[in-house]
Structure 1
Amino acid sequence: MVTGKSVNALGYYATPTDPESVVVQGDLPKAVAEGESVRIRVEETYTDPAGYTLKNGELEWTRTLGRPLNYVTLPDGWTLTSVNTPAVITLDAQGRTMLRFANIRNDQLAVTIKAKKR
Protein backbone atom coordinates (compact mmCIF):
# COMPACT_ATOMS: atom_id res chain seq x y z
CA MET A 1 0.00 0.00 0.00
CA VAL A 2 1.34 3.38 -0.98
CA THR A 3 0.04 6.92 -1.08
CA GLY A 4 -1.54 8.46 -4.14
CA LYS A 5 1.28 11.01 -4.04
CA SER A 6 3.86 8.21 -4.49
CA VAL A 7 1.91 6.74 -7.40
CA ASN A 8 1.62 10.14 -9.08
CA ALA A 9 5.41 10.59 -8.77
CA LEU A 10 5.93 7.49 -10.95
CA GLY A 11 4.48 9.36 -13.92
CA TYR A 12 2.81 6.24 -15.37
CA TYR A 13 -0.76 7.52 -15.45
CA ALA A 14 -2.25 10.34 -17.52
CA THR A 15 -4.85 11.07 -14.83
CA PRO A 16 -3.36 11.60 -11.38
CA THR A 17 -4.95 10.02 -8.32
CA ASP A 18 -5.85 11.87 -5.12
CA PRO A 19 -2.46 12.42 -3.41
CA GLU A 20 -4.02 11.78 0.02
CA SER A 21 -5.52 8.41 -1.00
CA VAL A 22 -4.05 5.00 -0.28
CA VAL A 23 -3.61 2.69 -3.24
CA VAL A 24 -2.51 -0.89 -3.77
CA GLN A 25 0.65 -1.31 -5.80
CA GLY A 26 2.15 -4.63 -6.80
CA ASP A 27 4.79 -6.05 -9.08
CA LEU A 28 3.84 -8.49 -11.82
CA PRO A 29 6.20 -11.33 -12.75
CA LYS A 30 6.49 -9.94 -16.30
CA ALA A 31 5.39 -6.91 -18.25
CA VAL A 32 1.95 -7.01 -19.86
CA ALA A 33 2.44 -6.74 -23.61
CA GLU A 34 0.28 -4.51 -25.76
CA GLY A 35 -2.95 -6.35 -26.59
CA GLU A 36 -2.51 -8.79 -23.70
CA SER A 37 -4.55 -8.92 -20.53
CA VAL A 38 -3.90 -10.54 -17.17
CA ARG A 39 -5.99 -11.40 -14.15
CA ILE A 40 -4.94 -10.07 -10.80
CA ARG A 41 -6.30 -11.40 -7.52
CA VAL A 42 -6.10 -8.97 -4.63
CA GLU A 43 -6.26 -10.39 -1.13
CA GLU A 44 -6.28 -8.26 1.96
CA THR A 45 -6.43 -8.94 5.65
CA TYR A 46 -7.52 -6.32 8.08
CA THR A 47 -9.00 -5.94 11.50
CA ASP A 48 -12.00 -3.79 12.32
CA PRO A 49 -11.99 -2.99 16.04
CA ALA A 50 -14.59 -0.24 15.60
CA GLY A 51 -17.06 -2.73 14.11
CA TYR A 52 -16.92 -5.13 17.08
CA THR A 53 -19.10 -4.62 20.14
CA LEU A 54 -19.85 -6.80 23.14
CA LYS A 55 -23.50 -6.81 24.23
CA ASN A 56 -24.59 -9.01 27.14
CA GLY A 57 -21.64 -11.34 26.57
CA GLU A 58 -22.36 -11.68 22.86
CA LEU A 59 -19.89 -10.42 20.27
CA GLU A 60 -21.54 -8.43 17.47
CA TRP A 61 -19.82 -7.33 14.29
CA THR A 62 -21.59 -5.09 11.78
CA ARG A 63 -20.14 -3.75 8.55
CA THR A 64 -20.70 -3.54 4.83
CA LEU A 65 -18.69 -5.67 2.43
CA GLY A 66 -18.06 -4.38 -1.07
CA ARG A 67 -15.92 -7.10 -2.62
CA PRO A 68 -17.49 -9.93 -4.66
CA LEU A 69 -16.06 -12.53 -2.26
CA ASN A 70 -15.38 -11.90 1.44
CA TYR A 71 -14.14 -14.12 4.26
CA VAL A 72 -14.65 -13.36 7.93
CA THR A 73 -12.98 -15.45 10.64
CA LEU A 74 -14.25 -15.28 14.20
CA PRO A 75 -11.72 -14.83 16.99
CA ASP A 76 -10.41 -18.03 18.58
CA GLY A 77 -12.75 -19.35 21.26
CA TRP A 78 -15.94 -17.86 19.78
CA THR A 79 -18.82 -19.72 18.11
CA LEU A 80 -21.36 -18.30 15.68
CA THR A 81 -24.86 -17.60 17.05
CA SER A 82 -26.37 -15.73 14.10
CA VAL A 83 -25.67 -14.06 10.79
CA ASN A 84 -28.18 -11.90 8.92
CA THR A 85 -27.27 -12.85 5.35
CA PRO A 86 -26.46 -16.17 3.64
CA ALA A 87 -22.91 -17.41 4.16
CA VAL A 88 -20.95 -20.61 3.74
CA ILE A 89 -19.78 -21.53 7.25
CA THR A 90 -16.71 -23.71 7.82
CA LEU A 91 -13.86 -24.17 10.28
CA ASP A 92 -10.34 -23.07 9.36
CA ALA A 93 -7.19 -25.13 10.05
CA GLN A 94 -7.03 -23.71 13.61
CA GLY A 95 -10.68 -24.65 14.33
CA ARG A 96 -11.98 -21.06 14.15
CA THR A 97 -15.36 -20.38 12.55
CA MET A 98 -15.00 -18.88 9.09
CA LEU A 99 -17.81 -17.34 7.03
CA ARG A 100 -17.66 -16.85 3.27
CA PHE A 101 -19.92 -14.21 1.75
CA ALA A 102 -20.56 -13.94 -2.00
CA ASN A 103 -21.80 -10.53 -3.10
CA ILE A 104 -23.12 -10.85 -6.66
CA ARG A 105 -24.76 -7.44 -6.53
CA ASN A 106 -23.15 -4.21 -7.61
CA ASP A 107 -23.41 -2.62 -4.17
CA GLN A 108 -22.48 -3.13 -0.53
CA LEU A 109 -23.58 -6.23 1.39
CA ALA A 110 -24.66 -5.28 4.93
CA VAL A 111 -23.57 -8.00 7.36
CA THR A 112 -24.20 -8.51 11.07
CA ILE A 113 -22.51 -11.47 12.74
CA LYS A 114 -23.11 -12.51 16.34
CA ALA A 115 -21.05 -14.97 18.36
CA LYS A 116 -20.61 -16.17 21.93
CA LYS A 117 -17.71 -17.65 23.89
CA ARG A 118 -17.48 -21.44 23.68
Structure 2
Amino acid sequence: MFRDSPPQKVRSEVHKLQMRSTKPHEVIRREWFTRSLSVNSWIVAIFLCSLCVPGSAQNQNPLTERAYQDREILYELQSPESHAFRIAHDYTVRTAGAQYYFNVVRAGSHVSDPDSIDLDSGEKLKWEIISGKQATERKLPIGETIKDDTEIVATYLARPLAAGTTNRIRLKETYVDPKSYYTDGDELVWDRSFGRLRNTVVLPAGWYLTGLASPATIETLPDGRVSIYVINPRNDEVRVYLRARRRPISK
Protein backbone atom coordinates (compact mmCIF):
# COMPACT_ATOMS: atom_id res chain seq x y z
CA MET A 1 0.00 0.00 0.00
CA PHE A 2 2.77 2.37 0.98
CA ARG A 3 5.50 0.65 -1.01
CA ASP A 4 5.88 3.62 -3.36
CA SER A 5 4.99 6.33 -0.82
CA PRO A 6 7.55 8.88 0.34
CA PRO A 7 9.41 7.83 3.53
CA GLN A 8 7.98 10.76 5.48
CA LYS A 9 4.44 9.55 4.77
CA VAL A 10 5.26 6.10 6.13
CA ARG A 11 6.82 7.65 9.24
CA SER A 12 3.71 9.80 9.69
CA GLU A 13 1.41 6.77 9.60
CA VAL A 14 3.59 4.90 12.09
CA HIS A 15 3.62 7.94 14.38
CA LYS A 16 -0.20 8.06 14.36
CA LEU A 17 -0.34 4.43 15.43
CA GLN A 18 2.15 5.11 18.17
CA MET A 19 0.03 7.97 19.53
CA ARG A 20 -3.09 5.75 19.66
CA SER A 21 -1.44 2.65 21.11
CA THR A 22 0.13 1.70 24.41
CA LYS A 23 2.45 -0.82 22.74
CA PRO A 24 6.17 -0.12 22.61
CA HIS A 25 7.22 1.82 19.53
CA GLU A 26 9.48 -0.95 18.21
CA VAL A 27 6.61 -3.46 18.37
CA ILE A 28 4.37 -1.09 16.40
CA ARG A 29 7.03 -0.59 13.74
CA ARG A 30 7.51 -4.35 13.35
CA GLU A 31 3.76 -4.92 13.06
CA TRP A 32 3.44 -2.13 10.49
CA PHE A 33 6.17 -3.39 8.20
CA THR A 34 5.08 -7.02 8.62
CA ARG A 35 1.61 -6.03 7.47
CA SER A 36 3.06 -4.12 4.48
CA LEU A 37 5.18 -7.10 3.49
CA SER A 38 2.14 -9.36 3.74
CA VAL A 39 0.15 -7.13 1.36
CA ASN A 40 3.04 -6.99 -1.09
CA SER A 41 3.39 -10.78 -0.95
CA TRP A 42 -0.25 -11.16 -1.92
CA ILE A 43 0.23 -8.81 -4.86
CA VAL A 44 3.22 -10.82 -6.10
CA ALA A 45 1.35 -14.11 -5.64
CA ILE A 46 -1.66 -12.89 -7.62
CA PHE A 47 0.63 -11.68 -10.43
CA LEU A 48 2.47 -15.01 -10.61
CA CYS A 49 -0.81 -16.93 -10.68
CA SER A 50 -2.04 -14.81 -13.58
CA LEU A 51 1.00 -15.92 -15.59
CA CYS A 52 0.12 -19.57 -15.08
CA VAL A 53 -3.61 -19.49 -15.82
CA PRO A 54 -4.39 -20.93 -19.28
CA GLY A 55 -6.36 -18.60 -21.49
CA SER A 56 -5.23 -15.53 -19.60
CA ALA A 57 -5.27 -12.12 -21.27
CA GLN A 58 -1.57 -12.48 -22.03
CA ASN A 59 -2.15 -15.69 -23.95
CA GLN A 60 -5.16 -14.26 -25.74
CA ASN A 61 -3.21 -11.18 -26.85
CA PRO A 62 0.34 -12.24 -27.75
CA LEU A 63 2.89 -9.69 -28.86
CA THR A 64 2.21 -8.51 -32.38
CA GLU A 65 4.61 -7.91 -35.25
CA ARG A 66 4.78 -4.27 -34.19
CA ALA A 67 6.32 -5.23 -30.85
CA TYR A 68 9.49 -6.56 -32.46
CA GLN A 69 9.42 -4.59 -35.67
CA ASP A 70 12.82 -4.71 -37.34
CA ARG A 71 12.03 -3.99 -40.95
CA GLU A 72 14.19 -1.07 -42.04
CA ILE A 73 13.37 0.64 -45.36
CA LEU A 74 15.66 2.81 -47.46
CA TYR A 75 14.33 5.05 -50.24
CA GLU A 76 16.99 6.35 -52.62
CA LEU A 77 15.40 9.00 -54.82
CA GLN A 78 16.38 8.98 -58.48
CA SER A 79 16.05 11.96 -60.83
CA PRO A 80 12.74 13.63 -59.92
CA GLU A 81 11.75 13.81 -63.59
CA SER A 82 11.67 10.00 -63.61
CA HIS A 83 9.37 9.77 -60.55
CA ALA A 84 11.48 6.74 -59.60
CA PHE A 85 13.06 5.68 -56.32
CA ARG A 86 15.05 2.62 -55.37
CA ILE A 87 13.82 0.78 -52.27
CA ALA A 88 15.87 -1.57 -50.10
CA HIS A 89 14.31 -3.25 -47.11
CA ASP A 90 15.40 -6.02 -44.77
CA TYR A 91 12.86 -8.45 -43.39
CA THR A 92 13.00 -11.33 -40.91
CA VAL A 93 10.91 -14.37 -41.84
CA ARG A 94 9.62 -16.02 -38.66
CA THR A 95 6.79 -18.37 -39.71
CA ALA A 96 7.78 -22.04 -39.55
CA GLY A 97 7.40 -23.72 -42.92
CA ALA A 98 7.39 -20.44 -44.88
CA GLN A 99 8.67 -20.78 -48.45
CA TYR A 100 8.15 -17.24 -49.75
CA TYR A 101 8.31 -13.60 -48.83
CA PHE A 102 5.67 -11.45 -50.52
CA ASN A 103 6.05 -7.72 -50.97
CA VAL A 104 2.72 -6.20 -52.00
CA VAL A 105 3.31 -3.04 -54.02
CA ARG A 106 1.27 -0.05 -52.94
CA ALA A 107 -1.53 0.97 -55.29
CA GLY A 108 -0.36 3.73 -57.62
CA SER A 109 3.24 2.50 -57.67
CA HIS A 110 4.79 0.24 -60.30
CA VAL A 111 7.72 -2.05 -59.55
CA SER A 112 10.72 -3.15 -61.63
CA ASP A 113 14.24 -4.58 -61.23
CA PRO A 114 13.80 -6.61 -58.03
CA ASP A 115 16.86 -8.16 -56.40
CA SER A 116 16.62 -10.52 -53.42
CA ILE A 117 19.37 -11.90 -51.19
CA ASP A 118 19.54 -14.20 -48.17
CA LEU A 119 21.47 -12.15 -45.60
CA ASP A 120 22.21 -15.22 -43.46
CA SER A 121 24.08 -17.02 -46.25
CA GLY A 122 24.71 -14.35 -48.90
CA GLU A 123 22.82 -16.48 -51.39
CA LYS A 124 20.94 -14.83 -54.26
CA LEU A 125 17.25 -15.68 -54.14
CA LYS A 126 14.84 -16.33 -56.97
CA TRP A 127 12.04 -13.81 -57.42
CA GLU A 128 9.16 -13.01 -59.75
CA ILE A 129 6.62 -10.23 -60.22
CA ILE A 130 3.05 -11.51 -60.22
CA SER A 131 -0.41 -9.96 -60.22
CA GLY A 132 -3.01 -10.32 -57.53
CA LYS A 133 -5.04 -12.44 -59.92
CA GLN A 134 -2.14 -14.84 -60.43
CA ALA A 135 -1.55 -15.07 -56.69
CA THR A 136 -5.21 -15.92 -56.11
CA GLU A 137 -5.25 -18.55 -58.87
CA ARG A 138 -2.11 -20.16 -57.44
CA LYS A 139 -3.53 -19.93 -53.90
CA LEU A 140 -0.39 -18.27 -52.58
CA PRO A 141 -0.49 -17.23 -48.89
CA ILE A 142 -0.17 -13.48 -49.44
CA GLY A 143 -1.54 -12.67 -45.99
CA GLU A 144 -3.51 -9.54 -46.88
CA THR A 145 -6.36 -8.40 -49.10
CA ILE A 146 -5.33 -7.92 -52.73
CA LYS A 147 -6.99 -7.00 -56.02
CA ASP A 148 -6.54 -8.62 -59.42
CA ASP A 149 -4.30 -5.78 -60.63
CA THR A 150 -2.17 -5.63 -57.46
CA GLU A 151 1.55 -5.99 -58.16
CA ILE A 152 3.42 -8.43 -55.92
CA VAL A 153 7.12 -9.29 -55.73
CA ALA A 154 7.42 -12.92 -54.63
CA THR A 155 10.80 -13.97 -53.23
CA TYR A 156 11.49 -17.70 -52.93
CA LEU A 157 13.38 -18.59 -49.76
CA ALA A 158 16.43 -20.82 -50.17
CA ARG A 159 14.62 -23.51 -48.15
CA PRO A 160 11.42 -23.80 -46.10
CA LEU A 161 11.91 -22.17 -42.71
CA ALA A 162 12.59 -24.71 -39.97
CA ALA A 163 10.71 -24.44 -36.68
CA GLY A 164 12.50 -22.33 -34.09
CA THR A 165 14.61 -20.47 -36.66
CA THR A 166 14.44 -17.19 -38.55
CA ASN A 167 15.67 -16.06 -41.95
CA ARG A 168 16.85 -12.52 -42.66
CA ILE A 169 16.44 -11.42 -46.28
CA ARG A 170 16.91 -8.21 -48.24
CA LEU A 171 14.79 -7.07 -51.16
CA LYS A 172 15.72 -4.23 -53.51
CA GLU A 173 13.37 -2.88 -56.14
CA THR A 174 12.61 0.26 -58.12
CA TYR A 175 9.26 1.99 -57.77
CA VAL A 176 7.77 4.61 -60.08
CA ASP A 177 5.04 6.74 -58.51
CA PRO A 178 4.23 10.17 -60.03
CA LYS A 179 1.72 10.91 -57.28
CA SER A 180 4.19 10.72 -54.40
CA TYR A 181 7.43 11.85 -56.10
CA TYR A 182 7.34 14.75 -58.54
CA THR A 183 8.61 18.25 -59.29
CA ASP A 184 6.99 21.54 -58.36
CA GLY A 185 8.74 24.42 -60.10
CA ASP A 186 12.45 24.11 -59.37
CA GLU A 187 11.91 21.85 -56.35
CA LEU A 188 11.32 18.14 -55.98
CA VAL A 189 8.49 16.97 -53.73
CA TRP A 190 8.26 13.72 -51.78
CA ASP A 191 4.80 13.12 -50.30
CA ARG A 192 4.32 9.57 -49.10
CA SER A 193 3.02 7.80 -46.01
CA PHE A 194 5.18 5.35 -44.06
CA GLY A 195 3.68 2.39 -42.23
CA ARG A 196 6.91 0.89 -40.95
CA LEU A 197 8.98 1.88 -37.96
CA ARG A 198 12.32 2.98 -39.43
CA ASN A 199 12.48 4.81 -42.76
CA THR A 200 15.33 6.60 -44.52
CA VAL A 201 14.94 8.84 -47.57
CA VAL A 202 18.09 9.81 -49.48
CA LEU A 203 17.92 12.77 -51.86
CA PRO A 204 19.45 12.57 -55.34
CA ALA A 205 23.06 13.68 -55.60
CA GLY A 206 23.33 17.45 -55.88
CA TRP A 207 20.08 18.25 -54.06
CA TYR A 208 19.59 19.82 -50.62
CA LEU A 209 16.60 19.87 -48.28
CA THR A 210 14.45 23.03 -48.19
CA GLY A 211 11.39 21.88 -46.24
CA LEU A 212 10.25 18.97 -44.07
CA ALA A 213 6.91 18.52 -42.31
CA SER A 214 7.92 15.61 -40.06
CA PRO A 215 10.40 15.15 -37.20
CA ALA A 216 13.54 13.53 -38.60
CA THR A 217 17.28 13.10 -38.27
CA ILE A 218 19.10 14.78 -41.15
CA GLU A 219 22.69 14.12 -42.12
CA THR A 220 25.06 14.37 -45.06
CA LEU A 221 26.38 11.02 -46.26
CA PRO A 222 30.05 10.48 -47.16
CA ASP A 223 29.15 10.72 -50.86
CA GLY A 224 27.53 14.14 -50.31
CA ARG A 225 23.90 13.08 -50.55
CA VAL A 226 21.43 14.21 -47.88
CA SER A 227 19.76 11.54 -45.74
CA ILE A 228 16.46 12.02 -43.88
CA TYR A 229 15.76 9.39 -41.19
CA VAL A 230 12.16 9.16 -39.98
CA ILE A 231 10.84 7.02 -37.13
CA ASN A 232 7.16 6.12 -37.08
CA PRO A 233 6.31 5.14 -33.47
CA ARG A 234 2.61 4.79 -34.24
CA ASN A 235 0.67 1.64 -35.08
CA ASP A 236 -0.64 3.24 -38.28
CA GLU A 237 0.85 5.31 -41.08
CA VAL A 238 2.59 8.66 -40.82
CA ARG A 239 2.71 11.10 -43.73
CA VAL A 240 6.13 12.42 -44.71
CA TYR A 241 6.25 15.55 -46.85
CA LEU A 242 9.55 17.09 -47.92
CA ARG A 243 10.89 19.47 -50.53
CA ALA A 244 14.39 19.85 -51.94
CA ARG A 245 16.25 22.04 -54.40
CA ARG A 246 19.21 21.45 -56.67
CA ARG A 247 22.46 22.97 -55.44
CA PRO A 248 23.83 25.80 -57.58
CA ILE A 249 26.74 24.77 -59.75
CA SER A 250 29.84 26.49 -58.41
CA LYS A 251 31.97 28.28 -60.99
Give the TM-score, by structure 2 length.
0.39
Gaps of 5+ in 2: 1-128
Gaps of 5+ in 1: none
Please state how far the C-alpha of 1:65 moved relative to its aligned partner: 1.7
- Structure 2 counterpart SS, 1:24: strand
Partner AA of 2:206 in structure 1: G
| Residue number in structure 1 paired with 2:131 | 3
Change (3 A) 1:111 1:12: closer
1:96 paired to 2:225:
yes
| Separation of aligned partners in 2, 1:111 and 1:99 | 10
Please state how far the C-alpha of 1:66 moved relative to its aligned partner: 1.9
| Residue number in structure 2 paired with 1:69 | 198
How many aligned residue pairs are there?
A: 115
Q: Map of 1:13-52 to 2, 5 A cutoff? A: 13=141, 18-33=147-162, 35-41=163-169, 43=171, 44-51=173-180, 52=182
Partner AA of 1:53 in structure 2: T
Please state how far the C-alpha of 1:26 moved relative to its aligned partner: 0.8
RMSD of the alignment, in Å? Answer: 2.8
| Residue number in structure 2 paired with 1:53 | 183
Select which of 79, 96, 117 maps to 2:208: 79
2:195–2:236 contact (8 Å) kept in structure 1: yes
Which runs of at least 4 in structure 1 moved beyond 6 Å after TM superposition?
A: none
Please state how far the C-alpha of 1:39 moved relative to its aligned partner: 4.8
Partner AA of 1:38 in structure 2: T
Change (3 A) 1:22 1:30: same
Deviations 1:27-76 (A, max 9, x none): 1122123x435355564543433332324x33332222222222212122
2:218–2:227 contact (8 Å) kept in structure 1: yes
State the structure with more CA Rg: 2
RCO comparison, higher one (Cα < 8 Å, 6+): 1
Q: Which segment is superposed worse, 37-46 or 88-97?
A: 37-46
Partner AA of 2:223 in structure 1: Q
Please state how far the C-alpha of 1:4 moved relative to its aligned partner: 2.2
**Aligned residues: percent identity?**
33
Change (3 A) 1:40 1:105: farther
Deviations 1:9-28 (A, max 9, x none): 43454x99543322231111
More helix by share: 2
- Structure 2 counterpart SS, 1:85: coil
| Residue number in structure 1 paired with 2:33 | none
